[in-house]
Amino acid sequence: MTETFALALPGGITLECRAAGTGAARVVLLHGFPEAAFVWDGVMERLAPRARCVAPNLRGYAGSSAPAEVAAYRPRLPVGDIAAAIEALGAPVDVLVAHDWGGALAWNLAAQRPELLKRLVMINSPHPATFLRELRHSAEQQAASAYMNYFCRPDAEARLAENDFARLWPFFGDAGWLTPGLRERYREAWSHGLTGPLNYYRASPLRPATAPTDLLHTLQLDDTAVTVRVPTTLVWGDQDRALRPGLLDGLERWVPDLRLVRVADASHWVVHERPDLVTAEIERALSLA
């Protein structure tokens, strides 16, 4: 049975969390855009006999603190939220699991605060070093990421919310897993507002350049700041339309202890498409933690 609680953090931020399980191991799960913590319910219930699982709604998402200013979503602040949450829950966690924007936070956390986690399971989330490289040099990735600049428009919230979120549903592709009940859960989450979720895009320099002065052209990521030495499993749905396979090239430079699990017939939404596989990879990580 999934429960909900509020986790108060330093600085006045509160994260609404979903949790399940009473097992001795500890697992924290981070969602991405345009989702919320509820997407982990099925995985948490599968893990419940073995682990205490906690899935927070990230800063800006339904039920959690949602500062209005873009600057509040610069990476160090939401990464700090997750660090503080893990410390409050009892560090280190055995496995940190993350997808999409949750993965962006987790890559940074694992590189900067490795003492907070024993193992990392990432799901279709690009490492910042390969993402920067591909956004600069890969026309394929630039085209696949063009939507990010659309999300930075000042009217993006209104446009995405129009006509029952008609512009958001297509991001899921041909989603046979998207049942009427699950659609309603997405509607409820989105009804809390889209400004916070979109501010992650607005605060990040990692999106296709549109002008010679864009920070993407000059941004430097020091290897020591982005190298993840925590043992890592990366589950990757090869049919991801937004994140192209070039993002995997040379990844071992920044993630030397890497196990790559490629899923040929899955997309960005592999958590929904192949929940048993995702759960099995988390269980495998738990057995090694």
Q: What pLDDT, on the 0 to 100 scale, is given for residue 41?
A: 98
Q: What pLDDT, on the 0 to 100 scale, is given for residue 230?
A: 98
**Cα(210)–Cα(239) distance, integer angstroms:** 26
Provide the pLDDT confidence category of residue 124 given band limits of 50, 70 and 90.
very high
pLDDT in tens, 161-185: 999 999 999 999 999 999 999 999 9
Provide the pLDDT confidence category of residue 85 given band limits of 50, 70 and 90.
very high
Q: Which CATH superfamily is domain 3-288 in?
A: Alpha/Beta hydrolase fold, catalytic domain (3.40.50.1820)
Q: Domain coordinates of the chain in residue numbers? A: 3-288
Q: What pLDDT, on the 0 to 100 scale, is given for residue 1?
A: 83
Percentage of the chain modeled with pLDDT above 70: 100
pLDDT in tens, 185-195: 999 999 999 99
Annotation says 41 is catalytic: no
Q: What pLDDT, on the 0 to 100 scale, is given for residue 283?
A: 98
Which one from 100, 186, 200, 240 is the annotated catalytic residue?
Answer: 100
Q: What is the mean pLDDT of residues 18-26?
A: 96
258-263, strands of its sheet edge to edge: 3-8, 14-20, 51-56, 25-30, 93-99, 117-123, 232-237, 258-263
Provide the pLDDT confidence category of residue 245 given band limits of 50, 70 and 90.
very high
Q: What is the mean pLDDT of residues 118-123?
A: 98
Tokens (6 digits) for 28: 């924290």
- Return the bridge partners of 4, or none: 18
Give pTM, 2 decimals.
0.97
Provide the pLDDT confidence category of residue 93 given band limits of 50, 70 and 90.
very high
What are the φ/ψ torsions at residue 86 (nearest 5 degrees)?
Answer: -65, -40
Annotation says 100 is catalytic: yes
> Is the predicted pLDDT of residue 239 greater than 90, yes or no?
yes
Lookup result for tokens 């800006």: 60
Q: What is the mean pLDDT of residues 116-138?
A: 98
Which one from 31, 99, 127, 268 is the annotated catalytic residue?
Answer: 268
Provide the pLDDT confidence category of residue 289 given band limits of 50, 70 and 90.
confident
pLDDT in tens, 28-79: 999 999 999 999 999 999 999 999 999 999 999 999 999 999 999 999 999 9
> Is the predicted pLDDT of residue 123 greater than 90, yes or no?
yes
3-state secondary structure of 198: helix
Annotation says 201 is catalytic: yes
Which one from 99, 201, 240, 272 is the annotated catalytic residue?
Answer: 201
pLDDT in tens, 136-166: 999 999 999 999 999 999 999 999 999 999 9
List the helix and strand counts (H, then E) for the chain.
Answer: 12, 8
Q: What pLDDT, on the 0 to 100 scale, is given for residue 83?
A: 98
Q: What pLDDT, on the 0 to 100 scale, is given for residue 73?
A: 98
Mean pLDDT of all residues in the chain? 97
